[in-house]
């Protein structure tokens, strides 16, 4: 893991997922949801790019970005609050 070309990206993802969240604070569930949604968004975007190259259709990228953005917003930001 360390010393590779993708080390900076991996470390940024680990910091995003683990450093800010703390046990016992009131926003753990929301933070975990947003972090998980973002980590699922990145491979989803790569799949959208691959699909647009394979199909050779440029409309796939804007449509995929809108769909991924709505999914991220619904799952991470607008998720129901737990009481």
Higher confidence at residue 83 or residue 72? 72
d(Cα 17, Cα 2) in Å, to the nearest integer? 18
Q: What confidence tens digit (pLDDT) does each residue in 13-68 have?
A: 666 655 555 555 555 666 777 777 888 888 999 999 999 999 999 999 999 999 99
Query: What residue segments make up the domains of the chain, in order of their start?
Result: 7-77
Give the predicted TM-score (pTM) of the model: 0.60
**Half-sphere exposure (Cβ direction) of 83: Cα atoms closer than 13 Å:** 0
């Amino acid at each position: 893991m360390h010393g590779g070309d993708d080390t900076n990206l991996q470390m940024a993802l680990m910091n995003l997922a683990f450093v800010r969240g703390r046990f016992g604070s009131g926003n753990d569930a929301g933070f975990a949801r947003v972090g998980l949604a973002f980590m699922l968004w990145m491979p989803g975007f790569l799949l959208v790019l691959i699909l647009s190259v394979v199909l050779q259709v440029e409309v796939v990228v804007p449509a995929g970005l809108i769909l991924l953005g709505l999914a991220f917003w619904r799952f991470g930001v607008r998720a129901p609050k737990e009481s």
